[in-house]
Amino acid sequence: MRLMTRKSCLEKSIGAVFVAASLFVSGGLQARANPAPAPTLNRTQTAYLTHCGGCHGIEGVSGPTFVPMLRDTVGTFACSEEGRRYLVQVPGVSMSLIRDDQELADVMNFVLFTLGGKSTPATAKPYTSAEIHEWRQSPMSVTDFMERRAHILQNAVAACQTHKPT
Ligand code: HEC
């Protein structure tokens, strides 16, 4: 009797496993027949990912490193003309292997208007390929970099205050 119970119990569990397995298999087949669309990146996002994302993070979040955060931060620089130019003159941008000026302008506009989020002022102008062309010809040297950055950022923050409605 005890054995019977065990046996039927076993049969039941085998049955359950079988049902589960067939659901899994049919679910799997269905998923294969109708795959969810894979997320796709456009040309600009791909360029950012390839040439910048390794250091700055795919979403502009670089974590606790010496690489500055871009997400919800970088837009502050766009409050001043000096700051806009600075963003193009940093070595990683001015000397980027993205040699096409328009493509780099597109990447910088993605950085500013997507990654910059709320930090980007409503008055910010998109970069043109002519600006990129001109400014990347005077790349920033790394000497005294942090000091110069602090100075530019301080001026940009002050400029942001004057942009704000009173
Ligand atoms: C090898 C790592 C590396 C790569 C690749 C790189 N960067 Fe950077 N980026 C840095 C570092 C480090 C800094 C800080 C300045 C410095 O020391 O050069 C910086 C600074 C910046 C800044 C200024 C931000 C601030 O808050 O001062 C921007 C904007 C920027 N990078 C964008 C980009 C973009 C866009 C690309 C791709 C075209 C890129 N970077 C590629 C490491 C990198």
Which sequence spans correspond to the domains of the chain? 1-38, 43-163
Give the DSSP H or E segment for 154: helix 145-163
Q: From the CB of 74, is ligand 1 less than 6 Å away?
A: yes
Least-confidence region, from 49-53, 57-61, 119-123, 137-141: 137-141
State the distance from the centre of ligand 1 to the C-alpha of 158, rounded, in angstroms. 23
Query: In the prediction, which pLDDT does 3 show?
Result: 47
Least-confidence region, from 15-24, 54-63, 157-166: 15-24
Residue 29 banded pLDDT, cuts 50, 70, 90? low
Asked if the model's pLDDT at residue 90 lies above 90, the reply is: yes
Q: Under CATH, which architecture does the 43-163 domain have?
A: Orthogonal Bundle (1.10)
Residue 35 banded pLDDT, cuts 50, 70, 90? confident
How far is residue 81's CA from residue 85's CA, in Å, rounded to a whole number?
A: 6
Query: In the prediction, which pLDDT does 165 show?
Result: 61
Q: Which residue of 45, 46, 48, 67 sits with most ligand 1 atoms within 8 Å of its CB, as the best mutation to test the pocket?
A: 67
The whole-model pTM stands at 0.79
Model pLDDT for residues 150-162, shown as the tens digit of each residue: 999 999 999 999 8
The minimum-distance atom of ligand 1 relative to the CA of 74 is 26
CA 133 → CA 14, 43, 46, 165, distances in Å?
70, 20, 21, 33
Q: Are 94 and 134 in contact (CB under 8 A)?
A: no
Q: From the CB of 55, is ligand 1 less than 6 Å away?
A: yes
Q: From the CB of 27, is ligand 1 less than 6 Å away?
A: no
Least-confidence region, from 8-17, 98-107, 122-131: 8-17
